């Protein structure tokens, strides 16, 4: 399954707006209109203080209740960054140990041995830096009317938990693999060593010392907080039933907060890193949080960029119906927090961040590039490069032509515009990023190279737009029937009943939970297929050899499903797309 993630938007994060005192307002209002975002709240930090806090839009689509700077949003995975400070406070006291086996201190539950890592240990450092080799990327949360699992039920994937059991799936300490499951283990560990409810501990040890007076980790959201909470909206624009989901996985995704409170958190960490806030976190532990861990982008609980005066820390967040983003400099006292009551897969939030970094002269701000000089491109050239490309593992971008230019799309809507500047070469309108599309000897477009400030990175083409395929006969009706049965089973959380047709990685990741974007699937019909064995596509650890396109009705609407097969004929992933 393709993960619709804000990380994809990092590739297209620069707008073409010139800064002025009113430019931030204009950009925010433009992006909200363009992306149909109901509400947005922002806080900006400069010189170590909050210099701007503004709110826009409404708490629920169709309502007249305005978002204010006191409106609560779900922070999603930014919860992990805040949790990391709580864990590091325990490390500072010697209550937790960064590099010892967590099973030595876990009481209520233990990390089980698995065949892929028999006898291996998992450490707090690995949990904080997503290098423990654990599964369960993220959590969908629970409808407020649904049964609510205990934390141990979540860890074991036991009913009524809606995610699989959290287990070691790769050797710990070897490579980065994002895991909300790891932070759920950390949550249980912190409960076991402090003998306190997690939300109470975090309130006393992190939120209150940081001055986050409007925030809570309590789940479900306490009644006293509910009147100030925004309603979440999914990526198709619908309000979340009940307003929001509940998250027993508090450490990974459970924080309710405001941009102003998250800005206070960022400032508290900045001061600790500058040796000026030992009451919040000692300088040594702050240093460890902001040190790169076995890769070039991850610290302990935060993502990192740059070094020395250019060092920045950040984290994004997504819960059902809410997106959030925190970015801050480590040494220069600057930052921005943006929260919206919508799931939006475009670069809207990143474009707003870019304007903030420009207005407030962040160290990593890059001067505006020269706009590209466009050349003419015929329809054939545009149509040839249209399609889907895998910019990172399991993350796709779609391009489609309009009016002689090329556009990237998110959630079915235009996002970024690219102009033709040469044969099979398109540059974003701000001139910051280019795509050089590549062809094979038969002139078929096979992929592209991303050109970004002197760096070049090849990416494979997943395939053309599904709507461009001409009607064709189904060469294997029995396979289409198997796809139909499998998709229905996955929508019902019964993928494990069809182990014989799933690749090992897909079986591992889809086995025991309902797949939300397949619920209600029916009417599966063959459209086309492509041989992609030479494109080096990998999904859920399976090498993709063939992609079969089928058309289906999902949630009452027509959709296409891209079904990824290995050379052995096993399904290793799927993507639901509109065209």
Q: pLDDT digit string (tens) for 227-279? A: 999 999 998 889 999 999 999 999 999 999 999 999 999 999 999 999 999 99
Domain end (from 407, 440, 467): 467
Domain presence at residue 156: yes
Structure tokens at 279: 């009451």
Lowest-confidence region among 128-132, 320-324, 455-459:
455-459
Q: Tell me: do 242 and 287 sit in the same domain.
A: yes
Domain end (from 467, 484, 499): 467
Q: How far is CA 220 from CA 74, 139, 574, in A?
A: 12, 15, 32
Phi, psi (rounded to 5 degrees) for 435:
-120, 120
Q: Tell me: do 403 and 509 sit in the same domain.
A: no
Residue 341 reports pLDDT greater than 90: yes
pLDDT at residue 413 in the model: 78
Distance of alpha carbon 121 from alpha carbon 99, whole angstroms: 10
Domain presence at residue 60: no
Which pLDDT band holds residue 5 (cuts at 50, 70, 90)? very low
Domain presence at residue 179: yes
Q: Tell me: do 429 and 503 sit in the same domain.
A: no
Q: Tell me: do 446 and 507 sit in the same domain.
A: no
pLDDT at residue 370 in the model: 72
pLDDT at residue 131 in the model: 96
Split into its structural domains, the chain has a count of: 3
Q: Residue 221 maps to which CATH number?
A: 3.40.710.10
Q: Tell me: do 317 and 436 sit in the same domain.
A: no
Q: Tell me: do 326 and 410 sit in the same domain.
A: no
Q: What is the DSSP letter of 346?
A: S
Report the pLDDT averaged over residues 96-109. Answer: 97
The CA angle 279-285-286, to the nearest 5 degrees, is 80
Buried b (16+ CB within 10 A) or exposed e, 531-542: ebeebebbbbeb
Residue 387 reports pLDDT greater than 70: yes
Domain presence at residue 256: yes
Q: Tell me: do 268 and 143 sit in the same domain.
A: yes
Phi, psi (rounded to 5 degrees) for 303:
-90, 145
Q: Residue 570 maps to which CATH number?
A: 3.10.450
Q: Tell me: do 389 and 269 sit in the same domain.
A: no
* Helices 23-35 & 348-359 angle (0-180, nearest 10): 180
Report the pLDDT averaged over residues 4-29. Answer: 56
Q: Tell me: do 476 and 451 sit in the same domain.
A: no
Residue 115 reports pLDDT greater than 90: no
* Helices 180-194 & 78-93 angle (0-180, nearest 10): 40
For the chain, the average pLDDT equals 91
The CA angle 112-116-117, to the nearest 5 degrees, is 55
Q: Tell me: do 474 and 540 sit in the same domain.
A: yes
Q: Is the peptide bond before 152 cis (omega within 30 degrees of 0)?
A: no
> Percent of the chain scored above 90 by pLDDT?
75
Domain end (from 424, 443, 467): 467
Residues of the domain holding 500: 468-577
- By three-state DSSP, how is residue 428 classified? strand
Domain presence at residue 331: yes
Domain presence at residue 363: no
Ranked by mean pLDDT, which of 127-131, 350-354, 433-437, 489-493 comes out on top?
Answer: 127-131
Q: Which residues sit opposite 554 in a β-bridge?
A: 557
Q: What is the CA radius of gyration of the chain?
A: 24
496-528 per-position pLDDT tens digit: 899 999 999 898 888 766 787 898 999 999 999
Residue 19 reports pLDDT greater than 70: no
Q: Which residues sit opposite 239 in a β-bridge?
A: 233
The predicted model scores a pTM of 0.82
**Biggest distance spanned by C-alpha atoms of the chain:** 70
Q: How many CB atoms lie within 10 A of CB 338?
A: 25
């Amino acid at each position: 399954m393709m993960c619709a993630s804000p990380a994809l938007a990092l590739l297209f994060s620069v707008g073409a707006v010139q800064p002025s005192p009113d430019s931030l307002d204009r950009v925010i209002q433009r992006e909200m209109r363009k992306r149909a975002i109901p509400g947005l709240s922002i806080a900006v930090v400069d010189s170590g203080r909050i210099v701007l806090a503004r709110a826009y839009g409404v708490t629920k689509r169709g309502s007249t209740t305005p978002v204010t700077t006191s409106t609560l949003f779900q922070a999603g995975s930014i919860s992990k960054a805040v949790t990391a400070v709580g864990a590091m406070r325990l490390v500072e006291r010697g209550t937790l140990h960064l590099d010892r086996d967590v099973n030595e201190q876990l009481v209520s539950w233990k990390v089980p041995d698995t065949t892929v890592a028999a006898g291996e240990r998992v450490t707090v450092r690995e949990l904080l830096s997503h290098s423990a080799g654990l599964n369960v990327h993220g959590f969908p949360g629970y409808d407020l009317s649904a049964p609510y699992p205990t934390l141990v039920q979540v860890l074991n994937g036991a009913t009524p938990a809606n995610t699989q059991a959290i287990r070691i799936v790769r050797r710990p300490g070897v490579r980065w693999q994002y895991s909300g499951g790891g932070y759920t283990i950390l949550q249980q560990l912190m409960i076991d060593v402090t003998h306190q409810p997690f939300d109470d501990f975090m309130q006393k040890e992190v939120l209150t010392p940081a001055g986050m007076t409007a925030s809570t980790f309590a789940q479900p959201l306490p009644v006293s907080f509910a009147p100030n909470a925004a309603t979440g909206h999914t990526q198709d624009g619908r309000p979340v039933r009940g307003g929001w989901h509940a998250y027993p996985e508090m450490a990974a995704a459970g924080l309710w907060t405001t941009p102003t409170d998250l800005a206070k958190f960022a400032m508290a960490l900045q001061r600790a890193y500058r040796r000026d806030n030992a009451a919040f976190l000692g300088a040594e532990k702050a240093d460890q949080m902001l040190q790169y861990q076995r890769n070039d982008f991850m610290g302990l609980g935060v993502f990192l960029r740059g070094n020395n005066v250019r060092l920045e820390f950040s984290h994004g967040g997504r819960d059902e119906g809410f997106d959030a983003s925190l970015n801050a400099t480590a040494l220069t006292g600057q930052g921005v927090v943006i929260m919206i009551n919508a799931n939006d897969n475009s670069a809207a939030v990143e474009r707003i961040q870019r304007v903030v970094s420009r207005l407030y002269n962040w160290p990593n701000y890059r001067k505006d590039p020269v706009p590209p000089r466009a050349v003419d491109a015929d329809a054939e050239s545009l149509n040839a490069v249209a399609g889907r490309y895998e910019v990172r593992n399991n993350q796709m971008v779609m391009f489609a032509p309009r009016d002689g230019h090329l556009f990237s799309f998110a959630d079915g809507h235009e996002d970024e515009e690219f102009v033709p500047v040469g044969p099979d070469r398109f540059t974003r309108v701000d001139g910051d990023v280019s795509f050089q599309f590549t062809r094979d000897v038969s002139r078929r477009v096979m992929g592209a190279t991303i050109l970004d400030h002197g760096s070049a990175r090849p990416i494979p083409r997943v395939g053309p737009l599904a709507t461009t395929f001409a009607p064709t006969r189904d060469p294997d009706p029995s396979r289409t029937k198997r796809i139909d049965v499998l998709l229905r089973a996955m929508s019902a959380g019964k993928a494990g009943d069809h182990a014989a047709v799933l690749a090992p990685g897909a079986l591992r990741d889809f086995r025991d939970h309902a797949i939300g974007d397949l619920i209600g699937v029916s009417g599966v019909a063959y459209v086309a297929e492509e041989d992609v064995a030479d494109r080096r596509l990998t999904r859920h650890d399976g090498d993709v050899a063939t992609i079969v396109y089928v058309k289906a009705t999902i949630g009452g609407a027509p959709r296409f499903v891209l079904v990824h097969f290995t050379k052995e004929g096993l399904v290793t992933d799927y993507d639901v797309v509109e065209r």
